[in-house]
Amino acid sequence: MSQPEPASPWWKGAAVYQIYPRSFADSNGDGIGDLPGITARLDHVARLGVDAIWLSPFFTSPMVDFGYDVADYCDVDPMFGTLADFDALVARAHALGLKVVIDQVYAHTSDRHAWFAESRATRTNDKADWYVWADPKPDGTPPSNWQSVFGGPAWTWDARRRQYYMHQFLKEQPQLNCHNPAVQDALLAASRFWLERGVDGFRLDALNHAMFDPKLRDNPAATDAGPRTRPFDFQRRTHSQDHPGVVPFVERIAALCAGYGAVFTVAEVGGPRVMPLMKVYTAGNERLSSAYSFDFLYAKALNPALVAKTQRAWPGAPGEGWPSWAFENHDAPRSVSRWCAPGDIPAFARLATALLCCLRGNVFLYQGQELALEQDEIPFALLQDPEAIANWPLTLSRDGVRTPIPWDAAAPHGGFTTGTPWLPLSAANITRAVAAQEADAESQLHFTRAMLALRKAHPALRLGTFADCRTKGDLLAFDRVHDGETLRCAFNLGTKPVAHAAPAGAVLLAVNGADAAHLPPYGARIVKARIEKA
């Protein structure tokens, strides 16, 4: 008698909803979203049919980079609430059947962190080498030519130690020396703190930035033809990131999480050549659960070639990790503003949601994506994003995707706050408020729920292989196959009708007027194939 297959962990094939706490729901009228606000609105998330929420940072921070500059890994910033508020959020999420995933930022801290205050004080204290310090060159210039992501050298002079300290992002985000086992121990202790409070997973921010060449060798010049909007873009980051020493650290993270059961770990790995890193960070059973792909987040167009390329890169070979896909997040512009004309947003949003839910891997939805929110234009005077301010106007502001969620179009500021919101909501997005879409059976909100329910109902979409991918012009077709079930998926990613005959079987989904012979503009169809017996 054959043994039944072991159950897949909860996270495999899961749909995860990203919450940016500042912009989700404000409970106290100060214009900034908070943990009690999230808790009060979790019913909305649960009704979508997702499996988990991912919370962007809510830790103690001076908010120079809006929480990604952590000053205390084990506490909640007062603007978001208290540890008791976090515990209440976890309890409510679990009661609704939602897992809770939180960010962990291992590459750097805030310069206000107590560790950095001690490290910069002298060259001989207990934390002297917890950060990356180096003497200047003989002429006083920085130790290497490394450039920071947000502009300018990746080194800042500190008069206390009479040395430079490294920072791959803002100067207020000093680089942790993750080569140091004591630093790793401290970071893992912080993660254990949250595991003990009931979190179900971690999204590991900028993980490939966590280590660097200890010899501090100069980076070579970039040779690609990519755009150059920052000094950072002029280099191949051969020595300043992507160090192989991250892999043993990954295994330590995985070992810690394994002790708490099916904890989900997903790596953010950014850069132009990240596929090998994504594969190595997730290989086998002793590393991370998944890697978070950037393939779609900054793509200028959604086309069949891009989808085919990304899916073929993860064929499911023995020992291969598990991918995660997102079309939007807190750093990347709204997909409907990048990939379609304004008048096509309703139709395109349905198509994009259907496609995302048919990809092999985990699905990440960013807050407001279920409402088809568009990218807001924030005038320079109201910008909050330090990267956009520093590189204006060449860098697209991240603020435009971070504007608050509109809950009720009839309420001031879309029902997000009774005060003045930290970023303004546009009139166009306020019309897409949750309450209005609840009342419209044809809305993007209802379609998103239906699509997530379809994905959950069919293991072929959550766990199946990706097979027989075909592309022709704007037509994309592929199969998802699992345990005797074959779903045949077809998408027209263009604005002109495409002739495409439906295969034999039951039609599970027809998007934007798709019929048995045609896919209209932004049309899609999913058919459960009828397999003829021999």
CA gap 21, 79 in Å, rounded? 10
Tokens of 443: 């809305």
Tokens of 41: 């609105």
Q: Are 192 and 255 in contact (CB under 8 A)?
A: no
- Annotated catalytic, 268? yes
- Annotated catalytic, 185? no
Q: Report the residue count for the chain.
A: 534
Q: What type of residue sits at position 216?
A: L
Shortest CA distance to 416 belongs to which of 69, 44, 53? Answer: 44
Torsions phi, psi of 280, nearest 5? -70, -35
- Per DSSP (E only), the strands in 5-91 are 15-19, 52-55, 59-60, 72-76
CA gap 433, 367 in Å, rounded? 12
Q: Which of 205, 374, 376, 387 is catalytic?
A: 205
Residue by residue, what is the 3-state secondary structure of 369-434? Answer: HHHCCCCCCCCHHHCCCHHHHHHCCCCCCHHHHCCCCCCCCCCHHHHCCCCCCCCCCCHHHHCCCH
- Per DSSP (E only), the strands in 210-257 are none
Q: Which of 268, 328, 376, 474 is catalytic?
A: 268
Give just the sign of the alpha carbon dihedral 364, 370, 376, 382: negative
**First vs last C-alpha separation in the chain:** 25
Tokens of 398: 């991240």
Shortest CA distance to 16 belongs to which of 56, 54, 58, 43? Answer: 54
Cα distances from 172 to residues 155, 340, 382, 448, in angstroms, run 11, 37, 21, 39
Q: If you search the block for the tokens 């810690």, which residue do you land on? A: 256
CA gap 187, 193 in Å, rounded? 10
Instruction: List the catalytic residues.
Output: 205, 268
